[in-house]
Structure 1
């Protein structure tokens, strides 16, 4: 177990140049407070594209070279570093983008550790889950309920926590209408969390596959944004909206669809030209969620309240999965998995 295979990135480059290389590398060993995980699966996120193609180089990401991307990971514990309690070899576990936080700042001590200024992100600052093994910080590792499939559970650790964190910022319930704009990997889970509030959920997307998935997952109404202007069709009809599409046009449509006094939560960067103060609309940003939120997501999934919709790829085919994501050809969330001989 001294060597493993992983998808490594030496230097960011356009995806067409195939910068991600599947090759043999050293298997890491856990230090104090760490676990070594044998990776079962890792979800494929649009953030991976930004990292691989160099969109975040000015911000210091990737922080190391070579780096193994991937930040929504499931697997089983292989070995424990010194000082680790609460885990045993063989435990099914998962890791989300928050790989490490300082545990001392005002955010870490108030249950908002996702805002820690010193945080390290899985697959961006440290090696992630696009390989056969990965190191994890025990304080940010979660036991996966035994009744969950580890491959299908992987997206719970980014789309799941992101969607939950966004919907949690809404104050909605029965008799109200919530719009979910953007129904990819994150949106399809946020939709389910919104349905659980009892509100009427309207799903807005451009792809027929995404709209079909939305109806399967309980959307009360769908809007094909490739055929109509969602802002016009839904104008002044939503009590709340959540956006996961990094598009100024989508943001404008969501705000137009909001009632006066409505709330927009965004899980992506947005730009706004103007916000009429007389409408008293509220805009909130949402980044992941806390450790407590992550455990709640796992509980809901274990009880069958939410589920992921995944397309499976062999771990060595991460580049192919990323290409499909970049070209909008995925039904929902791609997951790369380590397929070992039985």
Structure 2
């Protein structure tokens, strides 16, 4: 099969991914072999490829095939596979596998299992023509979505969903979203389904325009308006979600929430000051559980999520990632072998 291999972490400008011809994966009794129809290009792929996550232990092996949001067709199954058939169209999310026996796994929180395996970071991912996966961690894709449209549901879709769910939205509640690029735009759509009023905060005018189209109650550019003054004038937000990788955004997200409110961090960063007497709640999210993923697919099947995508050839992965790095891509990029 053809695959884009990473042999050594390096700046994307050095084109560290190489197109290679390698053997198809060999499946075990509980695995399925999937012919990839689409694999999303995510900023976390870029961080791993450029070596930003070496201290976190990623990539866990080299060479490695990146890519963790995947849609494809099942071509073969192991003898112990259940509920998955050859010909099924399935998706694979970042959570590739977990131990199944720890306190987190047995309580439906397998996304924080200490022995979890991450697609495209711990094991080979979807920048290839084929991928294998444990049958317990694949998901059937609704018929109403084409391959490219369905692919982003398996990372930005589930990430946005979990962040919004943690923010406890309800009719009339004000949710401030800092960073309304790809993931933030999905979060706006999901929060609206709960009846929340969304205040979108972003430095990108293009992203703010899209946020308005998606139904944000109000949009704010920090370069043109005083963010703190705005939220003070509306008696602050009930909760906030941060998708912008910025300590300043995190600081503002903490401060604009009223006492007793919730701040959800979908990025890493630092909180400069935190007033404990206000009893605010800070939650972090990384990847979704299997149940989160099923719920996202149901919302998408019902027409509640629409993600703008653009398709690219597998062999163009280096250039697509370079464009992503410099914010030259507005839609969600999908590699299609």
TM-score interval (norm. to shorter): over 0.9
- The equivalences for 1:144-159 within 5 A come to 144-159=141-156
Aligned to 2:292: 293
- Where does the alignment leave 5 or more consecutive residues of structure 1 unmatched? none
2:187 alignment counterpart? 190
Pick from 38, 43, 67: which aligns with 2:40? 43
Rounded Cα–Cα distance in structure 2 between residues aligned with 1:226 and 1:15: 29
Give the TM-score, by structure 2 length. 0.96
Correspondent of 2:130 among 130, 133, 147: 133
Q: TM-score, normalised by structure 1?
A: 0.95
Alignment root-mean-square deviation, CA: 1.3
Offset of 1:281 from its aligned partner?
A: 1.7
**2:61 pairs with one of 54, 64, 67:** 64
**Per-residue deviation at 1:335?**
1.4
1:224-262 deviation line (CA, Å, top 9, x unaligned): 234334334323521110001121100111122212222
Query: How far has the Cα of 1:103 moved from its partner?
Result: 0.7
| 1:32-79 per-position Cα deviation (integer Å, ceiling 9, x unaligned) | 211111101111111101110111122321112111000000011011
Give the match's secondary structure for 2:151: helix
Cα deviation per residue 1:181-205 (whole Å; 9 max; x = unaligned)?
1112211111111111101111111
SS of 1:274's partner is coil
Q: Provide the residue aligned with 2:255 in structure 1.
A: 256
* TM-aligned CA distance change 1:220 to 1:306, over 3 Å: same
How far residue 215 of structure 1 moved from its aligned partner, in angstroms, is 1.8
The residue number in structure 1 matching 2:89 is 92
Matching of residue 19 in structure 1 with residue 52 in structure 2: no
Q: How many residues align?
A: 335
Equivalent residue, structure 2, for 1:203: 200
3-state SS of 1:295 partner: helix
In the alignment, which of 175, 178, 181 is matched to residue 178 of structure 2?
181
In structure 2, the CA distance between the partners of 1:91 and 1:271, relative to structure 1 (3 Å rule), is same
Q: Give the structure 2 partner of residue 74 of structure 1.
A: 71
Bigger shift: 205-214 or 134-143?
205-214
